[in-house]
Every structure is written in C-alpha cells, then in structure tokens.
Structure 1
Amino acid sequence: MGTSIGMIQKLKKIPIFLQFIQNMGPRYVYYRVFHEIEKRTGALKRRHPTDVPLKYFISWNDWKVSCKDFIFDQREDITTNVTPDLALKARFDKIQRGNFRFFFHQELDLGENYDWITHPLTKKVFSNQIHWSEIPDFDPELGDIKYVWEKSRFTYLHDVIRYDQSFGEDHSEWVKNEIESWIDSNPINCGPNWRCSQEISLRIFNWSFVLNFYRNSSHFDEAFWKKVQPVIYWSLHHVFHHIDFSRIAVRNNHAITETLFLTLSELLFPFIPETKIWAAQGRKWFEEEIAYQIYEDGTFLQFSTNYHRVVVQLLSLGLTLSELHKKPFSSTVYSRAYESLKFLYTCQDEKSGFLPNYGANDGALFFQLSEQHFRDYRPQLNALHKLLTGSYLYEDIALEESNWWGIKHENKDVNFESLQRRDGDYSFTVGGYYVIRDQESLTFIRCGSHKDRPQQADNLHVDIWVNGKNILLDSGTYKYNCDAELKENFEGTIGHNTVSLEHKSQMLKGSRFIWFFWTQCLQASIIETEESWEFQGKISAFRFLFGNCVHLRKIVKFKGSNKWTVSDEILNVPDNVKAYQIWNSDDFDQFQIVSDCVDYSKNEKFDKGFFSEFYGEFSEIKRLSIPLNTRKVKTTFAYKHE
C-alpha cells in the first residue's frame, strides 16, 4: 500500500516551513538567515581575514619556563606504567610509512608526503587558496569532507607519544615535521581545514599534548615555535569570532568543544593577551552548554552514546586543567559530569565495555590514551570516575587511561560516591531511556520526547545484549553524506528495532541533519514483578502521514532467562496501511522467535539489513519484518548462546 501513502503525502499540505520554525526555534532561523547574509556580503571574510600578521608573543625558551600545569608536565615526569604493546608498535610503524587509521578502524595509505587537502577516497583536491567560507561541507564530486578533516585533527599523535613513552624512543623530529607540513599546506583561514571551528579546537588541543610532551626535545626549537605560535593565535581568534554558529546553529558537542577551547586558552596560552577575554566568555558559555546539553538525569541532547563519550573526554580535560590552575568550574558542571557517568555506566555491557551503537556515530574519539577497542568505553569512563570520586571503576591496568590525566590533583570538594553495578531496572525519564540489567543480559530501551533536534528515527527502539554480544542491535550510522536510500537504512526507522509503517520512518526526513514531525513520548513506565520486568511506552509518530498516529509498545524481560516478549499496537491508521515490527541482528540463528504462534526461525523469512560499527564502513546483517495483523503483534524471543 505504498501508493496509498504516496497519495496521502501529495494530498496533505504539510506546512514544512512552520514545522522548521517550531522545531528549531526563531533564534536558530534568524541566525541562519543572518549567517547566509554574512557569507554573501563578505562579512565573514572580513571577520576572518586571510592576509593576517603573524603574531609572536613569547620565545620558546621563555614558554618552556613559564608554562606549567598541563595534564602532565613533560614526558620525564609521566609516571604512567605502560607495558610495550605490539599492536601499538605495529600501528606506529604504519603511521611512519604514511598509513593512517581513519575513524579508529579504516586504514588508508596517504603516503609519507600527504598534502592535507586531498580526499583519500575520491582523490579530489580541495582548494587551500580560497576562504574557508567558500568550501562546501559536502560536494558529491569532492566527497565527504570528514575524510579530509580526519588526519588534520592530529589524533594519531597520541599513538606517537604513547609509543615513545612505552618503548623509550623519541620521534619529536617526525612530529615537528608533521605539524610544520600542515602549517605550510593550510594558510590561515583558507581551505577545508579552517572550515570547522571544532576541528580547529581539536587540532590545537592535540598539539598541546605534544608541545608539553616533547618540550625538552632539541627538535622543538625557536624556529618551530615561530611557525606554531601564530596558528595558535589565529585558531583561537577564529573560534571566538565564529562561536555563535556552534552555540546557535549547531548546539551540540561542537559548542562544548569550542567553548572549552576558549575557556582553557588562558591556562594553555597565557602569553596571548586576548585569552583573558576569550577565556572569561568561554567559561560562561561552556557552563551554559553543559547545563543545557546534559540533562538533569545525565542523558545528552544529541541522543548518541558515542557523542556522549566525546563530552566525557572534554569534561576530563576541562576538569583536570581547571583544577590544576585552581579555577574549578561551577557545581553544575561537576554534577552533570557525574550524572553522565551514571547514565553511560548503566547502559554499558559489562563484559565487553561496549555501549549500544545508538544515535549518530562519526568515529570520534578525541584523545585515545589507551589501547582498547574503539567501542570500549571503560578507559574514558574510568578516567572521569577517578577524577570525580578518587577511585577507579575498573582496576585493570590496561583500562587506567586516567594515569595520563594528572589524577593527583583531585578536587576534594567535589568527591562523589563511587558507582556500583546492580541488577534491576533504571529509568532516565528526562532523556527518555529505560534499562534492565539481569545477570548476563542488558536491555536498553529508547522512549522519549524531543525538545532538541533528533539524530535518528528510532523511538521505542530496543537494544539487547547477552553475555557481551549485541543480539538485537542498532544499525549504526555509516556516513553523514551518502545516497538517500542507504542513509535511510541507518538513520531511518528500518535500521532500528521498532515499528515502521510501510517501511517508512517515524519522522519526515529533511536535508542533512534535519527531521520534521518529531516523535514524542506520551507515556512510559517500567515495573518489576516477581517473574519479570515490564516496560510500557506510548509515542506519537508518523504524524506527517497520519496526524493522530500512536504507537504502543510493551516489553517483558523474564528474570533468570534470556527471554523477552515485545507487544506492539498501532492506533489511528487506515486498515490498508501495512505496519511491521522491524528487527536487526547478525545472530538470528541463536533465536527461537514466535510471533502470535507463527515460527519465524527459518532463514527465508529474513531480508537484507546493514550494520555500521565504524564510520565509513558497513556490513550486511539480517533484518526481520513481522507484520502487525489487525494492528497488533506479540513476539517472543528466546536466545540460546553457546
């Protein structure tokens, strides 16, 4: 009955523009219009000039004497006991040969003389001679700009300093050459690598690690510092004078990264006079962003576990440096950091350290200071937990990334209680998440409202883990920029374990990161009985098709067994519109699935689905679509693992 829905869509006059204003707010709309005017009139170019004076403030020797209190002082003072790791050595050897790991998995050979502006997949070259405001975020011919940004983040420098620390070697000259090569290839405010203020902030954060680590190296000299210092200044200048874009138009982890960069500028670069103003404003904005973006129950406005980890790392950096310099943040920042820990720890699979691959995942891990798998959150949670409580979540030395974060300076005024695992049910009602932990299983349920922009059409999605394996999973993200049909398989409803009408999404997809007719929670609760836990949720969805459409879901998790029943009902939808329970898994062979007395265990019942664990990559999995006959269905899953 796809035709009937198509006719309904044509007949309905959907006030898209009014939806846009209602969802995003007049402040956002006004700013986007103003920003477009600035681009077209050249105001952005004037505020971010390309013909700039090269600013010098302090000599290299004076900086080495006056700078202090980074998360570590210098490599000679680092007490981290790191056992030489063969995987780290192999990766380091590849880096030296020009083979880099993109998004923490995909290996791409850039060569030893990479120009920093060539797309590694399309081989198209971005211009580094035009102003950054003229560079498109996505040009089908050039390719996804994130592939150009990835190396320019300099995250791989953490592999280099960890390698040198582990094996007692010194590759400061190679690091210096990498940074100088980037500076020579990226004139200030020109080209793709000046396009995004978050990328600029991360680059200077990561340079700060190596500037402090190698400060006593003979290769880090005055000539090198004269090249670096102006880039630091104009990077801060760029971020400060373009901060409204992140705080109004984007308002997510970008804004947190950039306002933290400004906040820490006076601590990292006190020799720059303007940092006193930039840091004062940055601190005010950073505290506002943390209070707004991390909800009272510790959930995060981006509805993404990986982006939430990004914020955890930024908090670890910010709390560490601010306490070292005796300028701690407000109590709200500490409390939201702690609540974030509680939420993520609750949603974590205990055996693997992984969290559901829920929400947008662009492969971000800003500071990889351990050798754990990209999806293992234990090192990052361990570091923040040690900062806030004085104790470790995990005692395994391999997970003690926190040793790099100067834990000796704990703020005794904000010691929180150590977190402990417990079986049972958890409700995070502000963000809209419900969790059941039972012996070897984890049941993660999304049922929430959207006052902030949704990332994916996934309301009432359920993620199930057994003994470290994600048996009913979220399809992931793949790429932000790909063809619409493939994108729908990841961001759309069919990429999640919920209900779809005619295999369409719960919300109407707009351009890029925009959805219309946001789903909203109407009711949600979870109770414990003697035999089970029972979740019940009710949402409004598919309103762009049927204005009063309601989806009801009941999930029962039976105690002491890997068995669940999921009952769904759709209300206020015409009889000729087909509804389906959608299930995504790469492990259906281990299931016994019974839906209203129908056996769905045979392979011919499955369709092709997709799963993306890492940005830019995907594999095929199985997808099961179970029809809701008479608008209702009850499905029982029993899982037997080896």
Structure 2
Amino acid sequence: MVLNIKRFGWLIARLKRMSVTEVLYRVRMACLTEAQSRGLFIAEPDDASGKSCPVLEVDLDLPDAGTYLRNADRILTGNFNIFALRDCHLAFPPNWNKDPLTGTSAPLVFGKKLNYRDESNVGNIKYLWEPNRHLELVTLAQAYMLSGDKKYAHACKEMLNSWFEQCPYLYGPNWTSSLELAVRLINWSFTWHFLGGEDSFLFAGSDGKAFRERWLKSIYKHCHFINGYYSRYSSANNHLLGEYMGLFVAATVWPCWKESSNWQEKAKAGLEAEALKQNFTDGCNREQGIWYHHEVADMLLLCALVGRTNGVDFSKDYWDRLESMIEFIGAMANAEMSVPMIGDSDDAVMVRFVPDEEFSVYQSLLATGAVLFKRVDFAQKAGFFDDKSRWLLGQDGESDFAELLAVPQNDCTGFRREFPDGGYYVLGKDFETDREVKVIIDAGPLGYTSIAAHGHADALAMVLSLGGEEILIDPGTYAYHTERKWRDYFKGTSAHNTVRIDRQDQSVSGGNFLWTKHAKAWCESFEVSAEQDSFRGSHDGYTRFADPVIHSRSVKFEKESGIIEVCDEFDCEQKHEIEMFWHVSESCSVEISGKSVFINTPKACLEMSMPDADMEPVVVQGSEDFSLGWISRRFDFKVPSPTIVWAGKIEGKSQFLTVLKYTFK
C-alpha cells in the first residue's frame, strides 16, 4: 500500500508538469499500447530488399589490437563491466532479461505495460538495460576486424541469436524504452560494419542467409517501435535525440524496406530541429548536465558522419551547433582534461569504440572536432589523436590533426569564458599550464523542460582546480532509479558548493527525475581583466518560503595576490539557518587549524577562512547517517571525500565573506 501511495503521489506530481496537449498525447500512446498488446498495429516486415550501406568509409590505420583483444576475450568468458560491477560473470551469452546486480529476472510480459521503475519487479533497470545496449558486440567485431580471428565474429552471431530468442518482439524489459532500442541499433550498425557488412562470411550459405534475414527483421521491428513511441513534450530531452539517432542511422545503413526513406527523412528533420532546440546558441546543452552534453554531442556527431558517408548532408546550423558544443567542453576542462561533474551522469556512451577504462570521452570529442572544424585550439587541448577519432576519421583525419597540433601555441586564441545562455562563467589565469587557476561558476537554469529531469539543485555553485588538480569539486550523481536517499542527496543542494537555507533544497524534488519547483538563477555581472576577474549572480529558489530569501553570490579573483573572495548575501526579514558547503576532491588532504581550513595537494595548498563570521568550520567525510562527504566518479560507485561546512543563522539582510588563498608548491 505504501508503494502504491508513493506511486500515486508521483503520478499526480508528474501530471502537474504536463500540458493538456501532452496529457492527450499520452492517452493516445496508452491506446496504442493497448492495441499492440492485442496484436494490432504491430510490425509486419516485408522481406528486406537491396543491400546495406556503409556506416563509414575511411582509410583506417588500424590501432594496436591488444586492448581490443583482451576485452573481447574477457567478454567470451562471460565477464562484463557494468557500472560498479567489474568483471561481473554473466555467462556467455548472458541472460538478457536478468538484472546482474540483484539477480532479479524481469517477466516477459508486454513491454510497454511493464513498470520498469518497480525494483521488486525488474531489479535495477539500469543494470539490466546496459548489456542489452550491445556495446560488447562492437568490441567483439573490432577484435575480429583487427585480428582476423573468426571466433570473435562467431561470438557476435551467438550473442545476437540468443538475444533474438530471449527477447521476443514487444515482450519483456528490452521492449519498453525507445532510447534503449535506438542505442542498440547504432551498436548493431557498427557491429555489422566491422564484421564486413554485406560481404561478411557470417552471411554465407543457407544458415548465414537465415541469420542475416533474422537480424534484418529485428532491425525493422526496432525502427517500427521507435517510430511509434517517441519521447515527446516534457520527456523530449536527450531521449528524443537518441531515438532520432537510432532511427536515422538504421534507416540510412539498412534502406531495405518501403518505410526506410520516410524513417530517414523524419529522423533527420527531428535531429536538425532538436539539435538547435536542446542546445543553446552558446553551445551549452539545456539539460545542464555535462555528461549528457557529451552524449548529445556524440549523437549529433555520429549521425552527421554516417549521413555524410551516404550523401545525406546536415545543415550548416547543425554543424555550427555541434562545434559550439565541443568548444564548451574545451572551456570546461582544466589543464589536465578533468571536466566538472555538473548535473546528472549515467556513464553512457552511444558506441564504445575504445574499451579502455582510461578513455576520455571529452578528449576524444575535442580531437575529432579539431579535424572536422579545423580548430587549432581543439587540437592543442586534446593533445593527441585517440583511437575513437581514428575509427571515425581514419588516416586522413590523423594527418590533419598532426598539422593542427604543429601550429605554434601563441597562434591559438583560447576558449570562451562566458556562456550566458547555459549560465556558466570561467574565472582564472594561466590557462592550459601547470600554474592554471580555474574557477567555474554555475548560474544557469535548473534543467530542460518542465521536469528538468537531469538537473541538480546547484544554483551559484562553483568548482576550483589548481594546476589541473581538482580542489573544490562537484560530487557527481551516483544513483538513478534505486536508492532514493542517495539520489536525493547527490542531486540536492547540500551536495554542491553553494548555500542551503533551512535545510531545504533550492528547488523542490517530486521524484528521481522530476523537479516540481525550479530555482531560477541569473548573472548580474561578469568581468575579466589582466588583474582581476569577477562575477555576481543571484537565485530565487528560496522565495517560496513564507519569509522569502534571495541568495546572491559575488566572486572576485585577485590574480596577483592569489586570493579568491566569495561573498554570499541574503535578503530576507526573519531568522533562517544557513549551511555553506565546500566539497573537496578525495585526492586532497584537509586539516582545520583555528578558524581556517587547509587543503593540500601535491601541487598546491589552499587556505579557506571566514574571517568575519562567528562560525566554526567542520569537516565531514563519508557520513552515512546524514548523507554528506561523498564523491561518485562512476555511476553507482561512491567513495568518501572531505566536505567542509560552515553553519550558522541569519536574520534580515546579511552577508558572509569566504576567503580562498592558494599557493603553488
């Protein structure tokens, strides 16, 4: 009964974030689901006609095979890496409908009627879905291409046949989310390509022909499903772009049915529209999550390259927006290519071109973008041409990158420091050096659409790195569908370097991916000069209180003295409790001495103090009792990290100064 009440409460909150048009759309989708569960309006593919088209056509200088073969061999033993589970033994092929984390087997009921949010029914759906995206198929196919060993190709066939058997059309957890089908399709397209395309030996003979036909029928059913169930209205975030991605790539690579051209045109038009709609003109993705920013940029990139290979050109506006998105990544990354973990992250990649734990998705996008847009600054920031870029752009791309990298650094203008649409502002000096000082301030929207699903309550939060070492950090995401306590913490205000008032988040959460009241933040001034950088902004998240509070923050960086001053101001009339949080990287040591806090790294020392405040600093690390002092650098994996807290009371208009003074060692 408790679960039903919670479910009912969530439904009411969710409905309140929908327009009448959206409610009617969802009623129509419910009717379609009911009809399909009765056998109506389902996919009935004709025999595929014609041949497939290439995913890419590049003159590839094959990368070193070692990493690919080791990972392919691990997969053949049935060991998978799935979020926090490393070398998890699932068998080969795995049970595709079983959650590897909890051991729960999801029922093979009609997929669109399955409540995948119910952990008692399906386990942890993220863990169940992840292997079903078939990233491992690409690794096996790459291993075959690099080594010529047919055992890897036969393994692909075995995995696919087992999936077709265990996951019948429209039934079970793998026929619930259009995005999951779309990601599976793009991995199938590259798997098909690396196995040799139409000329693959797997398609030879009567058995091979039957396998090809079986695979193509499933591809058709995937396309038909996606085209019937798009993520619309308040759900039209990266999911919708991903759905268009899968449909566009599949319809382009396999133009084998009468619907294919229509699917391709519809998906391309959707990609063109959503690329501009979901990403600001300054290059920021509107979901306000930097990992999702990378995912969306990768979706746009892969579609553009597959389209270009097959004579389907995207508009200049589309390419320009992609370039701006990659430039934003360069601006956010510090001198060691660390990018702050702002907003949600689920560690997803569209295609795992490089099965290496140390692979950087951000560095790779910069390297690929350098070649595509002839950007010297992208190349110098990336530093080297990675394997993913090599798979996508081939030898010609690598040569072009080398030419860009050879341009003298003093001819490079550097990255923008102001992103007014997304609300990010960069203060600092000596960028891209071992004495770099980099402060990033978040004064942007909570997130995208009425539910802001992947945004965090982090208005006016800031991060700091010194010499490429992270000092003050954003702790990340950790959890999604399960462990509500930790989901609420990591997306809440206390998990960010900002101020919480009366122990309430700046925005009001209505569920794991639902905010019912959105704090609005804005920048009032931002100035940079050789001597000083400064920022001032405010947010209205606490004006919902009976006694409304406006929180304003000013940050001033005096470059010569190495001092950063953070002034927090509160405009209210009555008494309130305040907590100022400063989250520190787990690699740092933290020590309190008097009223000062000293943070040490191998390169630098940072002293923090509140000289005029009657508040004592406290350091919390790894607290389970009240969820504080943690960092999550991978989905579903967290470790203790120091969090500095100054707590006190205010009454009426108040202001507090925090002084940060750094020295390099």
- Shorter-chain TM-score bucket reads 0.7 to 0.9
Aligned counterpart, 2:521: 521
Contact 1:19–1:517 at 8 Å: present in 2 too? no
Aligned equivalents of 2:547, 2:181: Cα separation in 1: 43
Identity %: 22
Aligned equivalents of 2:306, 2:248: Cα separation in 1: 10
Distance 1:290 1:421, change over 3 A: same
Question: Of 149, 174, 180, which aligns to 1:199?
Answer: 180
1:238 aligns with 2:229: no
Aligned equivalents of 1:582, 1:212: Cα separation in 2: 50
Distance 1:190 1:214, change over 3 A: same
Cα deviation, 1:199-245, whole Å, max 9, x if unaligned, reads 101111111112121124423421210210110001000001112xx
SS of alignment partner, residue 613 of structure 1: strand
Give the CA deviation at 1:434.
0.8
Aligned counterpart, 2:202: 219
Q: How does 1:262-411 map to 2 (within 5 A)?
A: 262-351=247-336, 353-370=337-354, 371=356, 373=358, 375-389=360-374, 393-394=379-380, 397=384, 399-406=386-393
SS of alignment partner, residue 379 of structure 2: coil
Aligned equivalents of 2:415, 2:135: Cα separation in 1: 38
Give the CA deviation at 1:579.
0.9
Cα deviation, 1:58-89, whole Å, max 9, x if unaligned, reads 3xxx63xxx333214xxxx752341244x544
Give the CA deviation at 1:497.
0.7
Contact 1:316–1:384 at 8 Å: present in 2 too? no
TM-score (norm. length: structure 2): 0.83
Distance 1:604 1:528, change over 3 A: closer
Contact 2:53–2:310 at 8 Å: present in 1 too? no
SS of alignment partner, residue 417 of structure 2: strand
Aligned equivalents of 1:317, 1:232: Cα separation in 2: 18
Aligned counterpart, 2:577: 578
Contact 2:527–2:533 at 8 Å: present in 1 too? yes
Distance 1:431 1:25, change over 3 A: farther
Give the CA deviation at 1:479.
1.3
Aligned equivalents of 2:69, 2:45: Cα separation in 1: 38
Aligned equivalents of 2:392, 2:483: Cα separation in 1: 41
Give the CA deviation at 1:569.
1.5
Give the CA deviation at 1:502.
2.8
Cα deviation, 1:598-624, whole Å, max 9, x if unaligned, reads 799977576641111111111121222
Amino acid at match of 2:25: Y
SS of alignment partner, residue 629 of structure 2: strand
SS of alignment partner, residue 387 of structure 1: helix
Aligned equivalents of 1:17, 1:332: Cα separation in 2: 38
Aligned counterpart, 1:441: 437
Give the CA deviation at 1:339.
1.1
SS of alignment partner, residue 658 of structure 2: strand
Distance 1:640 1:98, change over 3 A: farther
Contact 2:347–2:634 at 8 Å: present in 1 too? yes
SS of alignment partner, residue 261 of structure 1: helix
Cα deviation, 1:138-186, whole Å, max 9, x if unaligned, reads 1132322111110010112333334344445441111111111111110
Amino acid at match of 2:462: V
Contact 2:565–2:659 at 8 Å: present in 1 too? yes
Give the CA deviation at 1:340.
0.8
Distance 1:98 1:605, change over 3 A: closer
SS of alignment partner, residue 91 of structure 1: helix
Contact 1:316–1:387 at 8 Å: present in 2 too? no
Aligned counterpart, 2:594: none
Distance 1:158 1:443, change over 3 A: farther
SS of alignment partner, residue 436 of structure 1: strand
Aligned equivalents of 1:150, 1:574: Cα separation in 2: 50
**Greater displacement, 420-429 / 281-290:** 420-429
Aligned equivalents of 1:641, 1:165: Cα separation in 2: 48
Contact 1:479–1:616 at 8 Å: present in 2 too? yes
1:45 aligns with 2:68: no
Contact 1:546–1:573 at 8 Å: present in 2 too? no
Aligned counterpart, 1:619: 639
Aligned equivalents of 1:477, 1:354: Cα separation in 2: 16
Contact 1:611–1:620 at 8 Å: present in 2 too? yes
Contact 1:103–1:614 at 8 Å: present in 2 too? yes
Question: Of 171, 174, 179, which aligns to 2:155?
Answer: 174
Distance 1:530 1:402, change over 3 A: closer
**Greater displacement, 548-557 / 450-459:** 450-459
Contact 1:319–1:328 at 8 Å: present in 2 too? yes
Aligned equivalents of 1:160, 1:429: Cα separation in 2: 44
Aligned equivalents of 2:293, 2:553: Cα separation in 1: 27
Amino acid at match of 1:596: P
Distance 1:546 1:469, change over 3 A: farther
1:146 aligns with 2:162: no
**Greater displacement, 460-469 / 602-611:** 602-611
Aligned counterpart, 1:538: 538
Cα deviation, 1:513-534, whole Å, max 9, x if unaligned, reads 1112211124432112453211
1:592 aligns with 2:607: yes
Contact 2:353–2:387 at 8 Å: present in 1 too? no
TM-score (norm. length: structure 1): 0.86
Distance 1:346 1:604, change over 3 A: closer
Question: Of 246, 262, 269, which aligns to 1:261?
Answer: 246
Contact 1:549–1:572 at 8 Å: present in 2 too? yes
Aligned counterpart, 1:209: 190
Amino acid at match of 1:227: R
Aligned equivalents of 1:551, 1:154: Cα separation in 2: 46
Aligned equivalents of 1:480, 1:556: Cα separation in 2: 36
Give the CA deviation at 1:461.
1.2
Aligned equivalents of 1:530, 1:22: Cα separation in 2: 49
Aligned equivalents of 1:472, 1:615: Cα separation in 2: 20
Distance 1:275 1:25, change over 3 A: same
Contact 2:186–2:351 at 8 Å: present in 1 too? no
Aligned residues: 604
Distance 1:158 1:43, change over 3 A: same
1:471 aligns with 2:460: no
Contact 1:263–1:282 at 8 Å: present in 2 too? yes
Question: Of 414, 417, 424, which aligns to 1:426?
Answer: 417
Give the CA deviation at 1:24.
4.9
Give the CA deviation at 1:17.
11
Distance 1:195 1:16, change over 3 A: closer
Cα deviation, 1:427-462, whole Å, max 9, x if unaligned, reads 111111111242212211110235634321111111
Contact 2:119–2:125 at 8 Å: present in 1 too? no
Aligned equivalents of 1:161, 1:599: Cα separation in 2: 63
Amino acid at match of 2:611: D
Give the CA deviation at 1:137.
2.4
Amino acid at match of 1:218: F
Amino acid at match of 2:219: I
Aligned counterpart, 2:63: 82
SS of alignment partner, residue 619 of structure 1: strand
Amino acid at match of 2:140: V
Aligned equivalents of 1:32, 1:572: Cα separation in 2: 42
Aligned equivalents of 1:545, 1:375: Cα separation in 2: 43
Amino acid at match of 1:201: A
SS of alignment partner, residue 348 of structure 2: coil
Amino acid at match of 2:326: L
SS of alignment partner, residue 264 of structure 1: helix
Give the CA deviation at 1:338.
1.2
Q: How does 1:26-175 map to 2 (within 5 A)?
A: 26-36=20-30, 39=33, 42-43=34-35, 45=37, 53=44, 55-58=46-49, 63=51, 67-72=52-57, 78-85=59-66, 87-103=67-83, 106-128=86-108, 130-141=109-120, 142-167=122-147, 169-170=149-150, 171-175=152-156
Give the CA deviation at 1:198.
0.9
Contact 2:567–2:657 at 8 Å: present in 1 too? yes
Distance 1:331 1:158, change over 3 A: same
**Greater displacement, 89-98 / 21-30:** 21-30
Structure 1 unaligned regions, length at least 5: 1-14, 411-415
Distance 1:22 1:571, change over 3 A: farther
SS of alignment partner, residue 578 of structure 1: strand
